[in-house]
Chains A and B, each alone.
Chain A
């Protein structure tokens, strides 16, 4: 299991367009990928679930990645977050 945190930099937070990019990226991996913000848990492969977190600029989100391709998934998701959020 891989785990890391990320602080949202984008002034608009996780809004629809980049959330879509993130969800698409997540769906290319077999691992289960969860994203949590405080007490809220979301499934990174589901757009509604990710948007419902309502993550804003300055919020810390934690990613939990588990599965056979967790290594690749973790680095790809982290890069995707840095690039889009």
Chain B
């Protein structure tokens, strides 16, 4: 038995076998071969294996996200069957007597060049697709696997770190929890753990990567400890804890349908943060009373070009209809140089967190902003919808955004297209500037939603992706709490409602503080809804702290 210590990011306990995910890295060096026929046969076997992987990825993405997103894996298959591509590999093997891996790598570079030189930005970006397929074949030639295909039982996933594209490779039903050697509370694995309610530990150190698949571990996401090969006593104790946890979960389930009200009768709107249809489903399952933050980036990030108004409308309408009259607050596009898709052609920035992002990008690209606003307005005809602008720092930004919205409304009226004339608009308060001038901003909108993650990062000048800064981070920093209190006060003075949609909203140790400040709405990811309801119901504002 041994114990490893990391940073727990979701307070759950789980027990199970380990599955170590090792993404492939291959050194491709040129070597000369003597039997080109055998070498080509090796390539062909690897190619067929790659085709099989791509076919699986296609099916999986199709089931999860639909044809639009899956199509890329179909194109990759066609590319791997392309006669010119195959001929080039054949030439490198037969004429230059190169080894298969090098021949594929060279061919990939050659075809990527072909696209990179085209005068069309879309085609230029396809160079990445060509490299993707050649890397896939090279990886297989090196005898390495990148897909967790061998994961067949629910396991604790261990990895150095996990990118979003790696995470989609996993079948959710086999994920008991995550442990990553690197990463911070904000890495993708941690975010996924939060949305799914899974036990997770990050920043565990490289030692964890030497675990062997199948070894039993106890993952304690609350204390950040991973116990490997536990002895009988420890295992028994953990199993009891697990049972207690399951009991607590059952108690939480019993809170479904009960009101979000404190002991002294103060009501709170308990809403959910979601990004995808699956999370929407999870939120409704957890009995969310509305959606306080619908992130709209997803459709843009997985697309190969700007999604059309029609595509956006279809998704938004489905979401709104699904909510059956409950409010959905859509945050308009929140994209920047650190979170973008190639077709946006955003220049690299030294400080993307302070760069051309979110509302700033939308105001400079009305051709991007207007179709989204049109789609949102049209969706509002089908259910209770609100529009929220992110990353506001000045009065003029809100005015400009509202002017564009007014134009779009006018166009819809002229075209006799239905929308909700009383649609609410709001802004995110996530810059210290916005919080400090919230008295001037309040008259321009119907509501505020405080994004505590960015507000903390900007107020304390602490990069939230930088793992070396964790020791300096105070999640309850008094400056942030003062800004929240000020924002709430100014919203109410103007008769507007105010919510919190950042991670702090889920922090049960702050629930009473927030309610004392007068916060009207708390929006959290699905797994936090019922625990937060419990905290609200246990709060009594008449009692002194």
- List, in ascending order, chain A residues with CB within 8 A of B111's CB: 48
A15 at the A/B interface (Cβ < 8 Å)? yes
- List, in ascending order, chain B residues with CB within 8 A of A51's CB: 115, 123, 126
Bound-state CA distance A53–B74 (Å) is: 20
Q: Do A16 and B72 touch (CB < 8 A)?
A: yes
- List, in ascending order, chain A residues with CB within 8 A of B82's CB: 46-49
| A–B pairs, 10, beta carbons within 8 Å | A12-B122, A16-B126, A17-B304, A20-B74, A20-B78, A23-B78, A24-B78, A47-B79, A48-B85, A54-B123
- List, in ascending order, chain B residues with CB within 8 A of A56's CB: 120
- List, in ascending order, chain B residues with CB within 8 A of A45's CB: 83
- List, in ascending order, chain B residues with CB within 8 A of A43's CB: 83
Q: Do A48 and B71 touch (CB < 8 A)?
A: no
B114 at the A/B interface (Cβ < 8 Å)? yes
Q: Which of A37-83 contact B (CB under 8 A)?
A: 43, 45-49, 51-52, 54, 56
Bound-state CA distance A43–B304 (Å) is: 24
- List, in ascending order, chain A residues with CB within 8 A of B75's CB: 16-17, 19-20, 47
User: Could you tell me which A residues sit within 8 Å of B by CB distance?
Assistant: 12-13, 15-17, 19-20, 23-24, 43, 45-49, 51-52, 54, 56
Q: Which residue of A lies closest to B81 (CB)?
A: A47
B118 at the A/B interface (Cβ < 8 Å)? yes
Q: Mark B64-89, 1 if CB is under 8 A from A, else 0.
A: 00000001101100110111110000
Q: Do B118 and A54 touch (CB < 8 A)?
A: yes
Bound-state CA distance A36–B79 (Å) is: 20
Q: Do B304 and A16 touch (CB < 8 A)?
A: yes
B129 at the A/B interface (Cβ < 8 Å)? yes
- List, in ascending order, chain A residues with CB within 8 A of B38's CB: none
Q: Do A15 and B305 touch (CB < 8 A)?
A: yes
Q: Which of B95-133 contact A (CB under 8 A)?
A: 111, 114-115, 118-120, 122-123, 126, 129
Q: Which of B119-157 contact A (CB under 8 A)?
A: 119-120, 122-123, 126, 129
- List, in ascending order, chain A residues with CB within 8 A of B129's CB: 16
Q: Do B304 and A49 touch (CB < 8 A)?
A: no
User: Could you tell me which B residues sit within 8 Å of A by CB distance?
Assistant: 71-72, 74-75, 78-79, 81-85, 111, 114-115, 118-120, 122-123, 126, 129, 304-305
| Closest CB in chain A relative to B309 CB, distance in Å | 13
| Closest CB in chain A relative to B399 CB, distance in Å | 32
- List, in ascending order, chain B residues with CB within 8 A of A46's CB: 82-84
- List, in ascending order, chain A residues with CB within 8 A of B84's CB: 46, 48-49
- List, in ascending order, chain B residues with CB within 8 A of A49's CB: 82, 84
Bound-state CA distance A8–B69 (Å) is: 24
Q: Do B305 and A12 touch (CB < 8 A)?
A: yes
Bound-state CA distance A48–B130 (Å) is: 10
Q: Which residue of B lies closest to A56 (CB)?
A: B120
| Closest CB in chain B relative to A8 CB, distance in Å | 13
Q: Do B118 and A52 touch (CB < 8 A)?
A: yes
In the A-B complex, the 7 residue pairs with the smallest Cβ-Cβ separation, listed nearest first, are A47-B78, A17-B71, A16-B75, A20-B75, A48-B82, A54-B118, A46-B82
Q: Do B120 and A48 touch (CB < 8 A)?
A: no
- List, in ascending order, chain B residues with CB within 8 A of A23's CB: 78
Bound-state CA distance A12–B111 (Å) is: 21
Bound-state CA distance A45–B83 (Å) is: 9
Q: Do B71 and A20 touch (CB < 8 A)?
A: yes
Bound-state CA distance A54–B120 (Å) is: 7
Bound-state CA distance A13–B484 (Å) is: 49
Bound-state CA distance A24–B82 (Å) is: 11
Q: Do B114 and A48 touch (CB < 8 A)?
A: yes
Q: Which residue of A lies closest to B308 (CB)?
A: A11
Bound-state CA distance A56–B305 (Å) is: 14
Bound-state CA distance A58–B75 (Å) is: 24
- List, in ascending order, chain A residues with CB within 8 A of B83's CB: 43, 45-46
- List, in ascending order, chain B residues with CB within 8 A of A54's CB: 118-120, 123
| Closest CB in chain A relative to B333 CB, distance in Å | 20
- List, in ascending order, chain A residues with CB within 8 A of B118's CB: 52, 54
- List, in ascending order, chain A residues with CB within 8 A of B74's CB: 17, 20
Bound-state CA distance A78–B224 (Å) is: 62
- List, in ascending order, chain B residues with CB within 8 A of A12's CB: 122, 305
Bound-state CA distance A15–B115 (Å) is: 12
Q: Which residue of B lies closest to A18 (CB)?
A: B71
Bound-state CA distance A27–B129 (Å) is: 22
| Closest CB in chain B relative to A34 CB, distance in Å | 14
Q: Which residue of A lies closest to B125 (CB)?
A: A16
| Closest CB in chain B relative to A16 CB, distance in Å | 5
